[in-house]
Chain A
Amino acid sequence: MSTGLSSGARAPYLQRFSEIAPGPTWLSPARQGALAAFLERGWPDKKEEDWRFTDLAPITTQAVLPGIAARSPDAAIGLDPSLFDDQLVQLLRAAGPRLLFADGRGAGPDPFRDDRPAPPPGLRLEQLSAPHAGEVPGLRAHLGHYLGHGNAFVALNTAFMSDGAIIHIPPGLACDSPITVVYLASAEEAASFPRTVVLAGAGSEATVVEVYLGARGRATLSVSATEIVLEPEARLVYHAIQQSSPQGCHVGHVAVTQASGSRFSAHSLALDGRIVRHDIHALLAGEGCACNLDGIYLVSGQSHVDNQTTIDHSMPRSTSRESYRGAVAGNGHAVFSGRIVVRPGAAKTDAEQTNRNLLLSSQARINSKPQLEILTSDVKCSHGATTGRLDPEALFYLRSRGISARDASHILIRAFLQQGLERVSSNAVRAELESVLDRRIDSLMAESASP
């Protein structure tokens, strides 16, 4: 188990903590507590089940610290737009309101676009650093409440969060357009710690899209934490789209808490990064919830992508559906762990999980680990994992019709992955994600073709 940091290793964290802007006073106890918890526990090591397959050395050999620079929330940032993937920055460009952050801080006026439509009346979309953020209904009660300090990265995020997005959807409000939050990382000398809180009021409906991008060619590190709370009967669609450079790292943790009758649907898309780790933990705390966790990952080069999911059925009559699909090429390594817990009270639970992998090279690796903990009877629970290669018969069939070997592979990889988008309810969003997939498959194949 982890043993905590030595006093020498603690010093830079304590110093940086004293240097950064203290933020709102109401947050101070949470931040101090999180820092203490992190120093006490230190980094997870590979003996811990959840970290068995992921070597954190590239991240943790140096202190993981935020920059000191205090930037006022409304100052324009000196971002070079060409450092970022334009297609991803402009994702859903015609759609709803968005907030943009750079290196963990609010970017103020959006340098990529300034004519975003205003949020619908009643919707609160605030920066955490804004002076009135603490007045967003429910925020103080919920922030930090579900994440705990159990995970070193979550604790660090809480200790160092400088900014982030607070989204409050009041009860009964239906937001037609997606609400987008874009977190850009370009600094190499410092990590960023973005925080997102989504409070979906009773009976509300909304789509929230988080985009995490690392600058081209830069060894960025972002450590994100997202808390999502669904009140009774709320409906929320959540997308997390992540792309770092092949040198950049991203560690993200999402905690979801669902009240009775709520419906939550998550779609995660991990496109690239040296080390990418996504944890999503859904607590089905009320009766009759529907929870759907889907994910797609593309792994190539030396990349390592680790998805850890937990769906915790604690009350009766909830349904969960989970499907993760990935393509792994080059020396890539993908990890999937899907934990489903059915607590003693959670009768009539209906849970299904699948993980499907496509190996595109002889060096590519995959570790797939379903974990079912069923502590009650009268449940329907199933899981299945497969790992395979492109079907040579299908490749030949396509080629025999004039389609090049490369296009045939592209078509089959895309067909495999896009089945992971079947539950995306918005056609417009699905079309955009398919086009993102297409481009990433192209780059993955170009990489595989070159020696």
Chain B
Amino acid sequence: MLSIRNLHAEAAGKPILHGVNLEVAAGEVHAIMGPNGSGKSTLAGILAGREGYTVTLGAVLYQERDLLALSPELRAREGLFLGFQYPVEIPGVGNTYFLRSALNALRKHRGEDELDAMDFLAMVKGKARALGLSPDLLSRAVNQGFSGGEKKRNEILQMSVLEPRLAILDETDSGLDIDALREVASAVQALRAPTRAIVVITHHQRLLDYLVPDRVHVLSSGSIVASGDKSLAIELESKGYGWAQAQGEA
């Protein structure tokens, strides 16, 4: 599904990623952990097509295609989803209208009919209810005045509506209290599917109690220094990132 090969990248002339390698197959959940400044958000941004990064070496293949050659919207239409660390507030654009425009852009790309407003509303209300999102957030402007937890839930709502093949969730757990964390994690857990891959970027192990990953990677100073199964996350929690970095250098 996703193959990151020796990825080097810089932002504003400053090298950030120094040769990241990662293979993610359909059906898997991977966690990328790492301290602040390790390059986690840069990696997520590059995968989604955010401007401001320059890839200086390496490649990213998504479903055997050169992902980096695609515009952000084409990536999304091909099934890639980025859950934002800081979801953007967009005054004047209704949340439901936004979600329907997005879903219809995807459907159009796949040669499917667009959903009309009524059918869409019924569908999205059901999904919102399942996520514990108040229906009144659907009629508000995108993320405007949403609490931190509501913004993150709104990201997961978008994921559940857009049904991506590959979801990259950038710090979806940050800023959530323990109850919200559990709910958001179990919502993501419910979206696990054999045809879908999920990459969770986090710096806490907590999230992984509810969303048990197949693989855990430690990103440090722009490269992956350790990989393992879920026990790596638990070991990290007790021994710290310094330990993982030392393991990588050993």
Interface residues of A (CB under 8 A from B): 391-394, 396-405, 407-408, 411-412, 414-416, 418-419
* Neighbouring B residues of A400 by C-beta, 8 Å: 48-50, 72-73, 75-76, 81-82, 84
B51 at the binding interface (Cβ < 8 Å): yes
Is there an interface contact between A411 and B93, defined as CB atoms closer than 8 Å? yes
Instruction: Evaluate contact between B162 and A401: CB separation under 8 angstroms.
Output: yes
The 10 closest A-B pairs by CB, nearest first: A415-B92, A402-B76, A401-B102, A402-B105, A397-B88, A399-B72, A415-B93, A399-B73, A402-B77, A402-B106
Contacts of B87 in A (CB 8 A): 397
Query: Can you show 11 pairs from A to B with CB atoms below 8 A apart?
Result: A394-B90, A396-B88, A397-B84, A399-B49, A400-B48, A400-B72, A401-B105, A404-B105, A408-B73, A412-B90, A418-B92
Does B71 reach chain A (CB closer than 8 Å)? yes
Report A287 CB to chain B, min CB distance, Å: 36
Chain A residues, CB < 8 A from B98: 398, 401, 411
* Cβ-closest chain A residue relative to B93: A415
Residues A396 and B50 in contact in the complex (CB < 8 Å), given A401-B162, A412-B93, A416-B92:
yes
B residues sitting closer than 8 Å to A (CB atoms) are 48-51, 71-73, 75-77, 81-82, 84, 87-88, 90-93, 98-99, 101-103, 105-106, 109, 141-142, 158, 162
Q: Among the listed B51, B75, B91, which residue makes an inter-chain contact with A419, where contact means beta carbons less than 8 Å apart?
A: B91
Contact, CB under 8 Å: A407 / B105: yes
How far, in whole Å, are A412 and B88 apart by their CA atoms in the complex?
13
A402 near B109: Cβ-Cβ < 8 Å = yes
User: Given contacts A392-B51, A396-B51, A411-B101, is CB(A401)–CB(B90) below 8 Å?
Assistant: no
Whether A402 pairs with B102 at a CB distance below 8 angstroms is yes
Check if A419 sits within 8 Å of B92, measured CB to CB: yes
- Residues of B within 8 Å of A411, CB to CB, are 93, 98, 101
Give the docked Cα–Cα distance between A393 and B51 (Å): 10
- Which of B87, B90, B158 has the most chain A CB atoms inside 10 A of its CB? B90
* Contact indicator A399/B51 (Cβ below 8 Å): no
Residues of B within 8 A of A408 (CB): 73
Q: Which residues of A contact B82 (CB under 8 A)?
A: 400
Q: Report B161 CB to chain A, min CB distance, Å.
A: 10
Distance between B172 CB and nearest chain A CB, rounded to angstroms: 14
Could you tell me if A404 and B84 are in contact, using CB atoms closer than 8 angstroms? no
Q: How far is the CA of A412 from the CA of B91 in the complex (A)?
A: 9
Q: Are B73 and A403 in contact (CB under 8 A)?
A: yes
Give, as a whole number of angstroms, the nearest-CB distance from A361 to chain B. Answer: 19
B97 closest partner in A (C-beta) = A411
Q: Which residues of A contact B141 (CB under 8 A)?
A: 415
Contact between A407 and B101, CB atoms less than 8 A apart: yes
Q: Which residues of B contact A401 (CB under 8 A)?
A: 76, 98-99, 102, 105, 158, 162
Whether A393 contacts B88 by the Cβ 8 Å rule is yes
Bound state CA distance, A412 and B75, in angstroms?
21
Taken together as a complex, chains A and B put the C-alpha atoms of A402 and B84 apart, in Å, by 15
| Minimum CB–CB distance for B72 against chain A, Å | 4
Q: Which residue of A has the minimal Cβ distance to B158?
A: A401
Residues of B close to A415: CB separation below 8 A: 90-93, 141
In the bound complex, what is the Cα–Cα distance between A299 and B48 (angstroms)? 34
Q: A403-B101, A405-B73, A407-B101 are in contact. Are A394 and B88 (CB under 8 A)?
A: yes
Q: Compute how far the CA of A403 lies from the CA of B91 in the bound complex, rounded to whole angstroms.
A: 17
CB distance from B81 to the nearest CB of A (A): 8
- Least distance between B177 CB and chain A CB atoms (Å): 25
Contacts of A396 in B (CB 8 A): 49-51, 72, 88
Q: What's the least CB distance linking B164 to chain A, in Å?
A: 10
Q: Are A404 and B92 in contact (CB under 8 A)?
A: no
Q: Are A399 and B76 in contact (CB under 8 A)?
A: yes
Residues of B within 8 A of A412 (CB): 90, 93
CA distance A412 to B97 in the complex (A): 12
Docked-complex contact B91 and A405, CB < 8 angstroms: no
